[in-house]
């Protein structure tokens, strides 16, 4: 009477199906990882042309769910043991696989196990509700309770989708987010957030390997209610850009909303201000006590982790140092491409330095964009001042140390260069931390902003 | 107009029909005792639980392992609203007789009453594991799953328990636990029409037991198969939905049965101090004493029942029931016991039938 009833968790069917096949049968990825494209707007399941051998079995009844087409550029090959799967993704994947195979008993058992680990895990509770209800009656949809608030179900469904996708599409270890061109030696870790995927990637500065970023782990994150690309105060969006952790607020000083800790970042940075963006109080922080996890889009603009994940990530954060780069769609480079871009920039920076030392203002000013300006000077004023200063110099020595180079996410090709500048000359010595924004103009890297950091 | 004294009012005073049917199933399944158990069952039916407990304890002192005796003891505790004791009895039964599904089922009913749905689920799943075709356990389990699902959804979606949909659900569950005690029409409730007639002439406990449990017997698998009195069982189960073509006499018998059950539920709710259930025994147009406002009367009843410290016991002698269409009169001697007060009165209840349910319209004591 209550035997195995036919159950269709649309979500499960659409998400779980291709997990195994993809993960195992996948050829080792595209040689050139290009840009990530994630489309989830289409109403019809997207064709499989994108990936040969992809067997995404998409189910129609739940168009909104089944349309998640998985990105192409970040292959889902399993990573070696460096990956810490602290989150519930692996369990969710297994649960959905069991559901898909109609082994609902197993699925329920696994869900109960997950809930015993995280009693406040709403997504798991919803799945549990569905699995129990399915024993009583046929259910047609994810969150099958009559009268379930559609917005809340949609939130949980969205969480399930991004979590499963995040699990499937872990970045390849051999690829590098193109933003992390160069970390300064004392930056032990860097954080890259992908808002489209609701994912935070933790990278280590592998000094033994020439400062190549090494993937450590990735985590589910929540972003602003209205998504990314923050522009103004109160727009409920998460900023996109190159930031760093500016301080740490301990738990006991925080409201429950922020969970187990908070790490403010320096939004709006120089670039944001230049673009006229405003707002404040963008933090990385934890999750309130009444839930294990928040929906993908729920914050006022902050990047939110589960408390468990925040506590792990916190161990890698250095106040004032750790870069936090937020992108709406992380781009990945092969090691060769990454090394090439890094060299190119290092050369440009070094050419700027030596041209400065040459005291030839014209040569020096070739490194500056027509759009250049500082906080208080236009290009002309800046050039005039340099010319005047250079005229008084017999010699100039410039050293750049602790150099970091991070590419700014976005359409424009902008990199953020930060270094300790050791300026010496016959009549003046000066030590400062400088930050420059370089823009690629007509194929050449030019400085568009500089100032003290 | 027919008048009939119910010599053997069945399904009296018990909280859930599902539980009761099972109680009798077991006696059917293990009929090898004859001692005092029929007497115990009679006392249970009459709501004389302390006496029943005394008898069953005496019985068990000779046969401490006896499953039937212990099962009845569990039922008595359940009726006396001693869930902890009842759970203990049924739990030990499941340990000693893991092959019996009934103790598991009743454990589940008790757990469900305490909202321990996970335990209820486990118990029912055990019942089904031993007896895969056990319909009652399945039905209960379905309800428990629904309740668990509802809890999970509440958690997942942070539903306010006060909102409409949730309330609906809770009402559903209340149904699972208490409906049957109100004696409204359920398949199992329809069976006694036949059962009464069959059992009335005989005093033999076994026969009585057999006939009262046709529906349970039909679902009880294997071991009782050859004993199953198919001829009796089949018709009893079939006419479950009310409008079955039954003779006029049978009809009024059915009404008497229903009324007896309504009275049993009323007395039981009173004894349990379950004011909500108690008040639900009264018609909306109940003639309140001295014409006092309904609300005032309800408040007074609540205060006198729920507000009373200590145990209340309400039992009664066999009622004389007179049915006339949708009206009926029940006359009986009522025994009321509470700390510091013990009284016996002659009571007359006038009942009326509204949408298939017998409700108290007037209540008079002499």
Q: Residue A115 CB: number of other CB atoms within 10 A?
A: 19
Q: Kindly list the residues from chain B whose CB atom is less than 8 angstroms away from the CB atom of residue A152.
A: 156-158
Question: Which of chain B's residues have a Cβ under 8 Å away from the Cβ of A2?
Answer: 138, 141-142, 145
Nearest to A133 among B135, B138, B146 (CB): B146
Category of A196 on φ-ψ map: left (φ > 0), alpha (ψ -120 to 50) or beta: alpha
The model's confidence at residue A135, banded by pLDDT at 50, 70 and 90, is confident
Cβ of residue A405 closer than 8 Å to a chain B Cβ: no
Confidence class for position B164, pLDDT limits 50, 70, 90: very low
Name the pLDDT band for A380 (thresholds 50, 70, 90): very high
Can you give the pLDDT at residue A145?
Answer: 86
Q: How far is B212 from chain A (nearest CA, A)?
A: 25
Parent domain of B146: 8-237
Q: Are residues B174 and B279 in the same domain?
A: no
- Which of B152, B154, B167, B171 is the best substitution to test chain A (most A C-beta atoms within 10 A)? B152
Query: Lowest-confidence range among A21-30, A206-215, A295-304, B68-77?
Result: A21-30
* Highest-scoring range by mean pLDDT, A83-87, A396-400, B102-106, B200-204: A396-400
Asked if B147 and B260 sit in the same domain, the reply is: no
> Does A123 contact chain B (CB < 8 Å)?
yes
User: Is A441 a residue whose pLDDT tops 50?
Assistant: yes
User: What is the average per-residue pLDDT within A158-186?
Assistant: 92
- Looking at residue B166, its pLDDT comes to 33
Which one of B186, B216, B237 terminates a domain? B237
Claim to verify: residue B150 and residue B287 sit in the same structural domain: no
As for how many domains chain B has, the answer is 2
List the single range of A330-344, B172-186, B222-236, B307-321 with lowest mean pLDDT. Answer: B172-186
CB-nearest partner of A148 from B151, B153, B155 = B153
Same-domain check for residues B214 and B271: no
Q: Is residue B242 part of a domain?
A: no
**What is the rounded average pLDDT of the residues B300-315?**
82
User: Which of A125, A127, A137, A160 would you mutate first to test chain B, the one with the most B CBs within 10 A?
Assistant: A125
pTM (two decimals): 0.63
User: Is there a single domain that holds both residue B259 and residue B220?
Assistant: no
pLDDT of B307 above 90: no
Residue of B nearest to A111 (CA): B152
Of B148, B151, B155, the CB nearest to A122: B155
Q: Is B35 exposed, middle or buried (0-12, 13-18, 19+ CB in 10 A)?
A: middle
Lowest mean pLDDT among A8-22, B330-344, B348-362: A8-22
* Confidence at residue A452, expressed as pLDDT on a 0 to 100 scale: 92
Distance from CA of B157 to the nearest CA of A (A): 6
Task: Check whether A121 has a pLDDT greater than 70.
Answer: yes
pLDDT above 50 (res B73): yes
Residues in B closer than 8 angstroms to A147, CB to CB, are 164-165
Token digits of residue B102? 């009934």
pLDDT at res. A7: 43
| B148: chain A residues, CB-CB within 8 Å | 128, 132
Q: Which of B132, B133, B156 to mutate to test the interface with A (most CBs of A within 10 A)?
A: B156
Please tell me whether residues B330 and B223 are part of one structural domain. Answer: no
Distance from the B223 Cα atom to the nearest Cα atom in chain A, whole angstroms? 22
Q: What average pLDDT does range B271-286 have in this prediction?
A: 88
* pLDDT exceeds 70 at position B115: yes
- Whether the bond between A268 and the residue before it is cis, its omega within 30 degrees of 0, is yes
Do B196 and B288 share a domain, yes or no? no
Say if residue B242's pLDDT is above 70.
no
Instruction: State whether residue A148 sits within 8 Å of chain B by CB.
Output: yes
**Sign of the torsion angle spanned by Cα atoms A231, A235, A237, A239:** positive
**Is the CATH code 2.102.10.10 the one for domain A335-452?**
no
Of the residues B237, B261, B285, the one at which a domain ends: B237
Instruction: Give the nearest partner residue to A132 out of B148, B158, B159, using CB atoms.
Output: B148
Alpha carbon of residue A229 to chain centroid: 13
pLDDT in the model for residue B193:
32
CB contact under 8 A, A128 and B157: no
Q: Return the pLDDT at A11.
A: 53
Q: CB–CB of A122 and B158 under 8 A? A: yes
Confidence of residue A410 (pLDDT cuts 50, 70, 90): confident
Query: Between chains, do B152 and A129 touch, taking CB under 8 Å as contact?
Result: yes
Question: pLDDT grade, residue B141 (50/70/90)?
Answer: confident
Together in a domain, B223 and B302: no
Asked if residue B209 and residue B316 are part of one domain, the reply reads no
Residue B185 has pLDDT above 80, yes or no: no
pLDDT at B207: 31
Lowest-pLDDT choice from A115-119, A296-300, A396-400, B8-12: B8-12
Positive or negative torsion for Cα B337, B340, B346, B347: negative
Q: What is the CATH number of the domain that holds B52?
A: 1.25.40.10
State residue B35's pLDDT score: 60
Residues B200 and B268 in one domain: no
Q: Token pair 């489309």 is at which residue? A: A39
Least confident of A93-97, A194-198, B352-356: B352-356
Regarding predicted confidence, which is higher, A254 or B296?
A254
Contacts of A113 in chain B (CB under 8 A): none
* A84 has a pLDDT exceeding 80: no
Cα dist. A203→A6, A215, A339 in Å? 44, 5, 17
What's the pLDDT score for residue B114?
A: 85
> Is B300 a member of any domain?
yes
Confidence tier at A275 by pLDDT (50, 70, 90): very high
Considering only CB atoms, which chain B residues are within 8 Å of A126?
A: 152-153, 156-157
Give A-chain residues touching B145 at CB under 8 angstroms: 2, 132-133, 135-136
Residue B2: inside a domain? no
Q: What is the pLDDT of residue B241?
A: 35
Distances B185 to B180, B322, B358 between C-alpha atoms, Å: 8, 20, 11
Q: Which residues of B touch A149 (CB under 8 A)?
A: 157, 159
Residue A87 banded pLDDT, cuts 50, 70, 90: confident
Helix ranges (H only) for chain B are 17-29, 37-45, 49-62, 67-79, 83-96, 101-113, 117-130, 135-157, 164-178, 187-190, 192-199, 205-212, 214-219, 230-237, 248-272, 275-279, 294-305
Please enumerate in sequence order all residues whose Cβ is within 8 A of that of A43, keeping only pairs 6 or more positions apart, or say none.
Answer: A63, A67
Report if residue B1 sits inside a domain: no
User: Is residue B14 pLDDT above 60, yes or no?
Assistant: no
* pLDDT band per the 50, 70, 90 thresholds, residue B27: very low
Q: What is the topology classification, in CATH, of domain A176-332?
A: L,D-transpeptidase catalytic domain-like (2.40.440)
| Contact of A389 with A410, CB cutoff 8 Å | no
CB nearest to B157's CB, from A1, A2, A152: A152
For the segment A353-375, the average pLDDT, to the nearest whole number, is 95
Chain B CB contacts of A156 under 8 Å are: 156-157
User: What average pLDDT does this structure show over B159-168?
Assistant: 43
Say whether residue A132 is in contact with chain B using an 8 A CB cutoff: yes
| CA nearest to A129 within chain B | B149
What average pLDDT does this structure show over A88-105? 91
Mean pLDDT across chain A, nearest whole number?
A: 83
* Residue (of B142, B108, B173, B176) closest to A133 by Cα position: B142
CB A172 within 8 A of CB A71: no
| pLDDT confidence of residue B309 | 77
- % of chain A exceeding 90 in pLDDT: 73
**pLDDT at residue A403 in the model:** 97
Instruction: Work out the widest C-alpha separation in chain B, in whole angstroms.
Output: 59
- Across the interface, whether the CB atoms of B155 and A136 are under 8 A apart is answered no
Of the candidates A126, A135, A136, which has its C-beta nearest B156's C-beta?
Answer: A126
Q: Are A176 and A212 in contact (CB under 8 A)?
A: yes
- Higher model confidence: residue B23 or residue A409? A409
Last residue of a domain, one of B176, B210, B237: B237
Which of B100-109, B152-161, B217-226 comes out lowest in average pLDDT? B217-226
pLDDT reported for residue B178? 25
* Chain B contact residues (CB < 8 Å to A): 135, 138, 141-142, 145-146, 148-153, 155-159, 164-165
Mind telling me how many Å the CA of B138 is from chain A's nearest CA?
7
Q: What is the mean pLDDT of residues B163-171?
A: 28
pLDDT score of B282 more than 50? yes
What local confidence, expressed as pLDDT, does residue B160 receive?
Answer: 62
Judge contact between A409 and A179, C-beta under 8 A. yes
Lowest mean pLDDT among A51-65, A344-358, A390-404, A421-435: A51-65
Residue A234 exposed, middle or buried by CB count within 10 Å (0-12, 13-18, 19+): exposed
Confidence of residue A86 (pLDDT cuts 50, 70, 90): low
Going by C-alpha positions, the residue among A194, A189, A210, A186 that lies closest to residue A338 is A210
Alpha-carbon distance B292 to B296, whole Å? Answer: 7
In whole angstroms, give the CA distance from residue A136 to residue A142. 15
**Is the pLDDT at A25 greater than 80, yes or no?**
no
Please state the domain extents for chain A. Answer: 10-168, 176-332, 335-452
> How does pLDDT run across A190-233, given as a tens digit for each residue?
999 999 999 999 999 999 999 999 999 999 999 999 999 999 99
Residue B255 sits in the same domain as residue B212: no
What are the tens digits of pLDDT across the range B221-238? 333 333 333 322 222 233
What is the reported pLDDT for B161? 53
Question: How high is the pLDDT of residue A111?
Answer: 95
What per-residue confidence (pLDDT) applies to B249?
36
Distance from CA of A23 to the nearest CA of B (A): 30
Q: Residue B29 above 50 pLDDT?
A: no
> Same structural domain for residues B193 and B280?
no
Distance, in Å, from the CA atom of A248 to the CA atom of A250, rounded to the nearest integer, reads: 6
């Amino acid at each position: 009477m209550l035997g195995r009833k036919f159950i269709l968790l649309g979500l499960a069917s659409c998400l779980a199906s291709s997990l195994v096949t993809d993960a195992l049968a996948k050829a080792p990825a595209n040689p050139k990882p290009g840009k990530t494209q994630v489309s989830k707007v289409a109403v019809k399941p997207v064709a499989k042309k994108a990936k040969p051998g992809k067997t995404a079995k998409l189910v129609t009844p739940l168009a909104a769910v089944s349309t998640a087409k998985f990105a192409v550029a970040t292959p889902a090959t399993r990573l070696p043991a460096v990956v810490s799967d602290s989150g519930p993704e692996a369990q969710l994947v297994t649960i959905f696989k069991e559901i898909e195979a109609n082994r609902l008993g197993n699925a329920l058992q696994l869900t109960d196990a997950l809930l015993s680990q995280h009693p406040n895990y709403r997504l798991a509770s919803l799945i549990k509700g569905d699995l129990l209800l399915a024993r009583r009656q046929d259910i047609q949809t994810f969150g099958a309770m009559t009268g379930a608030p559609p917005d809340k179900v949609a939130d949980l469904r969205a969480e399930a989708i991004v979590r499963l996708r995040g699990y499937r599409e872990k970045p390849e270890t051999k690829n590098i987010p193109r933003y992390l061109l160069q970390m300064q030696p004392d930056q032990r870790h860097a954080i890259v957030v992908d808002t489209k995927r609701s994912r935070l990637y933790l990278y280590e500065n592998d000094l033994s390997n020439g400062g190549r970023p090494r993937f450590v782990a990735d985590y589910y994150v929540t972003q602003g209610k209205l998504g990314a690309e923050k522009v103004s105060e109160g727009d409920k969006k998460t900023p996109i850009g190159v930031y760093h952790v500016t301080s740490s607020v301990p738990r006991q000083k925080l409201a429950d909303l922020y969970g187990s800790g908070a790490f403010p970042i320096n939004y709006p940075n120089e670039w944001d201000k230049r673009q006229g963006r405003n707002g404040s109080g963008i933090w990385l922080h934890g999750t309130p006590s009444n839930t294990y996890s928040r929906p993908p889009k729920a914050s006022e603009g902050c990047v939110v982790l589960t408390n468990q994940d925040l506590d792990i990530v916190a161990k890698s954060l250095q106040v004032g140092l750790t870069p936090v780069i937020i992108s709406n769609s992380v781009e990945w480079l092969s090691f060769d491409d990454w090394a090439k871009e890094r060299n190119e920039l290092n050369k440009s920076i070094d050419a700027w330095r030596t041209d400065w030392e040459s005291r030839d203002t014209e040569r020096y000013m070739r490194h500056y964009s027509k759009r250049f300006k500082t906080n208080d000077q236009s290009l002309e004023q800046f050039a005039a001042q340099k010319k005047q200063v250079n005229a008084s110099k017999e010699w100039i020595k410039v050293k750049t140390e602790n150099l970091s180079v991070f590419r700014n996410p976005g359409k424009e090709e902008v990199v953020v260069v930060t270094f300790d500048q050791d300026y010496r000359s016959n009549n003046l010595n000066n030590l400062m931390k400088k930050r420059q924004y370089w823009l690629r103009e007509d194929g050449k890297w030019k400085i568009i902003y500089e100032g003290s950091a | 107009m027919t008048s009939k004294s119910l010599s053997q009012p069945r399904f009296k005073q018990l909280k859930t029909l599902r539980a009761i049917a099972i109680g009798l199933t077991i006696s059917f399944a293990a009929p090898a005792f004859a001692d005092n158990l029929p007497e115990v069952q009679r006392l249970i039916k009459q709501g004389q639980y302390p006496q029943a407990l005394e008898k069953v304890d005496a019985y068990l002192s000779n046969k401490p392992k006896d499953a039937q005796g212990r099962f009845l003891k569990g039922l008595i505790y359940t009726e006396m609203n001693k869930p902890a004791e009842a759970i203990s009895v049924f739990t030990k039964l499941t340990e000693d007789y893991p092959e019996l599904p009934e103790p598991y089922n009743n454990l589940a009913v008790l757990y469900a009453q305490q909202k321990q749905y996970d335990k209820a689920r486990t118990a029912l799943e055990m019942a089904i594991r031993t007896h895969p075709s056990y319909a009652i356990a399945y039905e209960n389990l379905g309800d428990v799953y629904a309740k668990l699902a509802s809890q999970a959804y509440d958690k997942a979606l942070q539903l306010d328990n006060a909102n409409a949909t949730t309330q609906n659900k809770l009402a559903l569950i209340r149904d699972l636990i208490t409906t049957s005690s109100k004696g409204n029409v359920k398949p199992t409730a329809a069976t006694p029409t036949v059962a009464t007639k069959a059992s009335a002439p005989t005093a033999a406990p076994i026969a009585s037991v057999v006939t009262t449990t046709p529906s349970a017997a039909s679902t009880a698998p294997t071991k009782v198969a050859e004993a199953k009195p198919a001829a009796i069982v089949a018709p009893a189960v079939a006419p479950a939905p009310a409008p079955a073509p039954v003779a006029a006499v049978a009809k009024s018998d059915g009404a008497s049965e229903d009324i007896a059950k309504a009275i049993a539920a009323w007395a039981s709710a009173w004894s349990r101090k379950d004011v909500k259930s108690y008040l639900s025994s009264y018609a909306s147009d109940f003639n309140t004493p001295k014409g006092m406002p309904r609300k005032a009367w309800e408040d007074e009843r609540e205060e006198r029942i729920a507000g009373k410290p200590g145990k209340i016991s309400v039992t009664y002698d066999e009622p004389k029931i007179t049915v006339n269409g949708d009206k009926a009169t029940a006359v009986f001697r009522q025994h009321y016991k509470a700390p510091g007060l013990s009284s016996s009165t002659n009571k007359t209840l006038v009942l009326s039938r509204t949408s298939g349910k017998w409700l108290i319209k007037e209540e008079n004591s002499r």
